[in-house]
Structure 1
Amino acid sequence: MTLGLTGGIATGKSTVSNMLRVRGAAIVDADRVAREVVEPGTEGSREVRKRFGDGVFHVDGKLDRKALREVIFRDPDAREDLNRILHPLIVRRMEEEVRRARKTDAERPVVLDVPLLIEENLLWMVDTVVLVYIPEPLQLKRLMEREGITTEEARRMIRAQMPIDEKKKFADVLIDNSGTLTETERQVDALWQTMVSKNGSGRL
């Protein structure tokens, strides 16, 4: 069984991902993969340099993410070009990691931890979509506290993503993370039991 785990900024997706990791899931982290495909010497690094130039790289060959963000923030076409370069590389790497996890242990549940699972049209990669959900007012509050930013700054960051309530339409399972960690753990336990029973695994 391949589960797609997603959420919004400050909803607690990473917390739930770690809970599933502790229970034995193989985690394929899209953010980690996205960093790896632009490491020095990779195809991704070469293609980004070809399109955006040396100015978005540090002298040691590593990607200067801040410089690149500034470029794509000013130019929507540049953002599209970056996605066109990196999206196939990220997807290919995630598919390889899923195959490797299956080969190692066919009964082990696999979780694709992908913040933009819905927005990037990656639902085809998973059997079940799990959304880590909190109401938007709480999302705003937690983001402000976490980042030490103003209400307006937090609103702007949230508006840059698909609204969390819109994402609910795509979810097969909701993990409500608006309560205590114990309450979240209880929901993750229920999800885990479902996952291992569908996989035929005796991991409980």
Structure 2
Amino acid sequence: MKVIGLTGGTGSGKGIVSQCLRDAGAAVIDADEIAHEIIKKGKPAYEELVDYFGLQILQEDGQIFRRKLGEIVFREKEKLEFLNRCTHKYIAREISRQIQEAKELGKAKLMIIDAPLLVEAGLVEVCDAVWVVYADEEVRARRVIERDGITWETAKARIATQKSWEEYERYAQEVIDNSGTLGQVQVQVKNLMKKYA
């Protein structure tokens, strides 16, 4: 079984590529889903985050209000760095567990780690190859606005906090261009599945 790291900036359309890979028979570990789980009340990262950010990040039910947390960390770099340090260790641990489980079951030829912060979380080391999803910055900003219901300025600020395209490209063994149609993405995914499976 080959382990592929799938990454790309916010709004690049990584989720679409991930779904195409699932549809083509790859097993997918979604790092965002894991990130949402580990900050729930009673889960590993919850106490660390509440201790650092305070009660302002909590909803009435005591759960972390992710949108509020996002507003805070995307304005202040050191707070974003703390959030990443806190959560990445738990995300990496859970991904390693899922990879091991998949290897033991031996069902999939390709295991995809869908992780926006693949490099930052130290997950490149467990991958046989890294595939990066590309889309033009303006396209990305429009997608983020549509997806998250935020302003143009907020979308651009989020993009600015992430790595540049050149940094992503440095890690890429393969680039999937998601600037066009769904059909074009599906063709690229099929070709990569043939090459790596």
TM-score, with structure 2 as normaliser? 0.85
| C-alpha distance 31-150 of structure 1, shift in aligned 2 (>3 A) | closer
User: Are the counterparts in 2 of residues 136 and 164 from structure 1 also a CA contact under 8 Å?
Assistant: no
Residue in 1 that maps onto 2:100: 99
Residue in 2 that maps onto 1:53: 54
In 1, Cα distance between the equivalents of 2:36 and 2:26? 22
Residue in 2 that maps onto 1:156: 157
Count of residues in correspondence between the two structures:
196
Q: How does 1:32-181 map to 2 (within 5 A)?
A: 32-73=33-74, 75-105=76-106, 107-140=108-141, 142-143=143-144, 152-181=153-182
- What does the per-residue CA deviation read over 1:118-177, in whole Å, with 9 as the maximum and x for residues that have no partner? 344431121100011123344345555666766544433322211224311210001112
User: Are the counterparts in 2 of residues 102 and 108 from structure 1 also a CA contact under 8 Å?
Assistant: no
SS at match of 1:184: helix
Q: 1:72 Cα shift?
A: 3.4
Unaligned runs of 5+ in 2: none
- Quote the sequence identity (%): 36
| C-alpha distance 188-44 of structure 1, shift in aligned 2 (>3 A) | same
SS at match of 1:9: coil
Q: 1:107 Cα shift?
A: 4.6
Unaligned runs of 5+ in 1: 197-204
Q: Which is greater in Rg?
A: 1
The amino acid of 2:82's aligned partner reads D
Residue in 1 that maps onto 2:24: 23
In 2, Cα distance between the equivalents of 1:135 and 1:76? 24
User: Are the counterparts in 1 of residues 5 and 118 from structure 2 also a CA contact under 8 Å?
Assistant: yes
User: Are the counterparts in 2 of residues 28 and 111 from structure 1 also a CA contact under 8 Å?
Assistant: yes
Q: 1:195 Cα shift?
A: 2.4
User: Are the counterparts in 2 of residues 119 and 162 from structure 1 also a CA contact under 8 Å?
Assistant: no
Structural RMSD (CA): 2.5
